[in-house]
Chains A and B, each alone.
Chain A
Amino acid sequence: MNKALRNPLVFILFVIPALVLFIMFFIYPIFSSLYYSFTSWNGVSDTVKYAGLDNFKKALGDERFWVSVKNNGWFILFSVCIQVPLIVFFSLLIANVKKLKGLYKTAVFMPSIMSTAVIGILWGFIYEPNIGLFNKVLGLVGIEPVYWLSDERFAMLSILITNAWQWTGFYIVMVLAAILSIPGELDEAAAIDGATGFQRATRITLPLIVPIISVVIMLSIAGAMKAADIVIVMTKGGPAGSTEVMATYMIKYAITNFKYGYGNTIAVLIFMFTLVVTALYQLLFARRNERIEY
């Protein structure tokens, strides 16, 4: 009776369009990147010259490349060491207030649905040395204007703050959902046993949301490795290349300077670094197969 659903021709017709696009834009690019990473192709000429490991040597020997790796590292460190504690703190607070819960949730989430480009512009204005919000606030306590985006000491930090401003609320909502799904009886039982609010938060809720915190960290790492548009919009990698990240370094060489082969080498390195960082995190910190049953 299920002949209608066993027709292979229909099956193929249904699968093909999505599959063709998927192979064209996901599978083929991986192999193409890998292939061109060993060439010195400029992206347009007809001849493709094999270059062996030259590109990889060049990248690993380029000081500017390491600056970009370091900046990706800052992205990861900033999200894990500063954002994650804030995320946990604020989601615990929102979960425990009775009034205005919906308002807090809606408001903190809002920046994460905005375009990163527009947020970059908005924050560029906030960091503006003469009329921007930041220096005006600092001016109230008598601090001299700081050139946030054009001073090498502050440019990266300014980008990290903007990035945190955009994404912290997003993760808060994720963690909040996990907290609210914990059955209320656990908390009530602890309250009857005389545990204070602080004790319940740190001894009951926190251990139960460790898996979602782990997910948040994984997502932050993935996001940190992808970061590019915020840097392009806010500083274009400057001043003097000090805010360049791996993805912008790749784009700069491949598209702006016609070093297509070399750009692909960087793409392959981004890929490898992402794998290594994720694997390291999984090995060192993530507790595997942890399932929580209530």
Chain B
Amino acid sequence: MPRLKKSLPHVALLGYLIVVLFPFLFVLFSSVKKDNNAIALNPFGIPKTFEFSNYVEAWVNAKISTYFFNSLYISILSSVVSILLASMFAFAVTRMRQGKWNKILFSLVLIGMLIPNNALMLPIYTIVRKLHILNTHWALIIPYIANAIPFTIIILAAFMRSLPSEIEEAAVMDGLKAPGIFARIIVPLTVPAMVTVFIVNFLGNWNEFLLANYFLSNDELRTLPVGMVQFRDQYQMNYAQMSAGIVYSVVPVIVIYAILQEKIIEGVTAGSVKG
């Protein structure tokens, strides 16, 4: 009886685990099946013969490599610039002594966390058009940088505030000016927090769909989520090949997650609570 009681929660949890993981397995198995017919005949199991040509064809037909590198460089560049600008701002309002301005500016940025950003999509569309960058990668990079700024500032400012003030007092004694204190003292100390926000911002940009879908119309420029949707719309009937496409776009995220899971869970949940 006690043994049964102990294993009951595990039964429920394993059930949940299957619900979460089976869709991935279903796609993985389907991706090595010959065609829709093979999927229909044997939907749940591993196929008898493995058909890897789906992967080759999906890579070519779906232009996965183009989309993949577009996504990669847009996400990295935007995240890095956000962190750079936000850390300068956070340094100024937490470590420099400008009386009430510190507080006013910081509170202003806090408001940004309360705004539902989908609702601002239309004005951002017009800004991007007026800047004549619609249908270039800048149309995503600049809004992505701006979008991440409030959250990045809040996390980095909280971290910088926790550093003892003796640090820069010593630095001032040594003759460092404010930019030097920022670059040589504060930034190196803030690296752990920066890693966390980088992961959150990167994932956010990597997965972003709405702006990427409406602000770019040139196929060569598309990012992975949009490219995948378009691929699905074109090859709707060929589910085996589509599954291979899904595997390509899911595997990098799973690999990163496997390596950095603690950091990711910490960062992503912190992001939402503070928001």
Contact = CB atoms under 8 A, between A and B. Distances in A.
A148 interface: no
B225 A106 contact: no
Contacts of A126: 23, 26
29 contacts: A1-B172, A5-B172, A5-B181, A10-B96, A11-B92, A11-B96, A21-B142, A29-B124, A30-B123, A33-B122, A90-B13, A93-B12, A93-B13, A94-B13, A104-B17, A110-B257, A114-B207, A115-B225, A118-B250, A120-B229, A121-B232, A122-B23, A225-B116, A226-B117, A233-B229, A250-B121, A267-B121, A270-B116, A270-B119
Interface string B156-190: 00000000000011001100111101100000000
Given A11-B101, A113-B257, A165-B19, 17 more contacts: A5-B172, A10-B179, A18-B85, A28-B123, A90-B12, A90-B13, A107-B20, A108-B16, A110-B20, A114-B207, A125-B243, A131-B39, A133-B22, A226-B116, A255-B214, A271-B116, A274-B116
B20 A169 contact: yes
Contact of A121 (B126, B181, B242, B254): B242
Interface majority SS (helix, strand, loop, mixed), chain A? helix
B263 to A, nearest CB: 12
Given A5-B172, A271-B116, A123 B44 contact: no
Nearest to A92: B9
Interface of B: 9-10, 12-13, 16-17, 19-24, 26-27, 30, 36, 39-40, 43-44, 85-86, 88-89, 91-93, 95-98, 101, 105, 108-109, 111-112, 115-127, 142-143, 145-147, 149-150, 153, 168-169, 172-173, 176-179, 181-182, 203, 206-207, 209-210, 213-214, 224-226, 228-229, 232, 239, 242-243, 246, 249-250, 253-254, 257, 261, 264-265, 268-269, 272-273
B260 to A, nearest CB: 10
A19 B89 contact: yes
A143 interface: no
Interface stretch (A76-84, A170-178, A180-188, A282-290): A170-178
Contact of A32 (B22, B126, B168, B228): B126
Contacts of A232: 209-210, 213
Contacts, number: 263
Identify the interface centre among A105, A109, A264: most chain B CB within 10 Å of its CB: A109
B13 A97 contact: yes
B23 A133 contact: yes
